[in-house]
Structure 1
Amino acid sequence: MDFEVYCDESGLEALNQKKAHLFMAIGGVWMPSENRKEFKEGINKIKEKHNISGELKWNKVSPAYFDLYKDLIDFFFTTEYIRSRVLIVESDKVDNIKFNNADAELGFYKFYYQLLHHWIYDFNNYSIFVDLKVNRDKSRIKTLEKKLDLANLTSDIKYIQGLPSHESVGIQLADFITGLVAAKFNKEIVSEAKKGLISHIEHNYLKKEINHTPKYEEKFNVFKINLQGGW
């Protein structure tokens, strides 16, 4: 079966500046390729309903757009074919000197690997789209693609492609979900609109606070990676 994955990150600066945030997050939205058209139509209907033509982003949440993003949450949770996974990284536990040759960019793409690898299943094909960014090492995305292919011999990573977020409503949804989860973990939220959206998810869909989830959680998966070792 063919799948598409749309990814974005939040709080990336925490990998270099430990005091910037408690956590950095990378998130992805998974869907069967056959549902792409239906997905885009669903998102665009929400934007049209609220007379919005620009990007959907967590950082754009405000009281004026509360109902827009509430509808986006409802669309995600009531649309069976969409799944999300967010990887949460505790910034002060990251040791780039010891594990990444003092290269935070390398560490970032290792975390990207962890986000994707565990949701790649046998005998499927995956097209992966990431938010376009300028990397110091231009080979990062191709290397990630190669490593994922080698680690999943019965599946095919067709490609990983960087896209500007304004061109992809999938990446925009990934931005929103990833930013929301990161904000919850970082405990930095002062916006009442953002608090209200988190509360909407917790009370109407999860029936509990947003936190790390078991591996088997398939709809709204939050993986807080353990960087301390042990068992």
Structure 2
Amino acid sequence: MSADRKKIYYFCDETSHTAGDPFLAVGGIAINSAALAEIEAEIASIRSKYSISGEIKWSNTKNRRDSGQKAYADLLRHLVDKERLHFHVRFQETAEYNHRLSGSRLKIDTVSKAHYQLLLHRPVEFYGKTCDLHIRPDNGNCTELLGKFVDKLNSGAKKKHKIEVGCIRSLHPTDSAKSHFLQLLDVTLGAFASVRNGRAYQQPEVSPKVQLASHILNIWDNPNLHVSTDKEARRFNIWNVVPKYGKGIVTKG
């Protein structure tokens, strides 16, 4: 690789694939390698302030106004505002996909393919021409095979986006309990998915998740998550997938 190519780390995760929600969400954050240590230090400061020792996740939101989750959500928004980090979310309606066509692992393979599409059409398309990409998905059944598709992703980069170099340099599933960046992603991604699925407001207004989801929507200026942003928007991108029928990929009914 050329010495003048920047190095981008892309942390990605999925949510709402096992809860019976209508919409699966996969999301990712892109961080220049030069900014990793500085952002890690900011996260460490939050963890110290709130005496956080374990993993911060949307799912373990507690009934506290000044929670670690809120601080993580605020930091993510601040980093996007300052263009020190980019944030992307891809929604797809699960019922529109025939999991038997996805692969032998059925719904797990559907989620794995959602990750593949996110990678190909967001970090690869956005940064692959000028940057080397190091992909770090949260580990689990849905991402454990992604490492085998690096060559296919690089081929797709050439075919779809005319990127001649093999821009994905590594792809390693990572334990979110050991990755503060995956935890940083998890809180806001979980909130957005909860809102997109109409789950956030099926609870009493005093629910800590309802309060946190409302706060997160507010700091993002109340985006309409049902509507995709401009496809070229790198800093903050919402992508609502419209399935292509008749391709042997998805079926309806």
TM above 0.5: yes
Match of residue 240 from structure 2 = 224
Any conservation in 1 of the 2:8–2:30 contact (CA below 8 Å)?
A: yes
Cα deviation for residue 56 of structure 1 reads 1.1
Check 1:198–1:151 CA distance in 2 against 1; reply closer, same or farther (3 A cut): same
- Bigger shift: residues 48-57 or 67-76: 67-76
Q: Does 1:125 align with 2:128?
A: no
Any conservation in 1 of the 2:77–2:219 contact (CA below 8 Å)?
A: no
Q: Does 1:183 align with 2:194?
A: yes
Letter in 1 for 2:69: Y
Any conservation in 1 of the 2:150–2:171 contact (CA below 8 Å)?
A: yes
Match of residue 115 from structure 1 = 118
* Unaligned residue ranges in structure 1 (runs of 5+): 15-19
Check 1:62–1:182 CA distance in 2 against 1; reply closer, same or farther (3 A cut): same
Cα deviation for residue 114 of structure 1 reads 1.1
Q: Does 1:202 align with 2:209?
A: no
Q: Does 1:81 align with 2:84?
A: yes
Match of residue 53 from structure 1 = 53
Number of equivalenced pairs: 223
Runs of 4+ that moved beyond 6 A: none
When the two chains are superposed, the root-mean-square deviation of aligned CA atoms in Å is 2.4
What TM-score, normalized by structure 1, do the two folds share?
0.86
Any conservation in 1 of the 2:76–2:185 contact (CA below 8 Å)?
A: no
Aligned-residue sequence identity (percent) comes to 24
Match of residue 43 from structure 1 = 43
Any conservation in 2 of the 1:28–1:84 contact (CA below 8 Å)?
A: yes
Residue of 92, 95, 116 corresponding to 2:95: 92
Any conservation in 1 of the 2:108–2:141 contact (CA below 8 Å)?
A: no
1:164, 1:102 → 2: CA distance?
A: 21
Cα deviation for residue 203 of structure 1 reads 2.7
Question: SS of 1:63's equivalent?
Answer: coil
Question: SS of 1:111's equivalent?
Answer: helix
Letter in 2 for 1:13: T
2:209, 2:222 → 1: CA distance?
A: 18
Letter in 2 for 1:195: V
Any conservation in 2 of the 1:212–1:221 contact (CA below 8 Å)?
A: no
Match of residue 3 from structure 1 = 8
The superposition leaves residues 16-49 of structure 1 with CA deviations (integer Å, 9 ceiling, x where unpaired) of xxxx111111111111011110111111111111
Cα deviation for residue 155 of structure 1 reads 4.8
What TM-score, normalized by structure 2, do the two folds share?
0.79
Cα deviation for residue 174 of structure 1 reads 2.1
Letter in 2 for 1:132: N
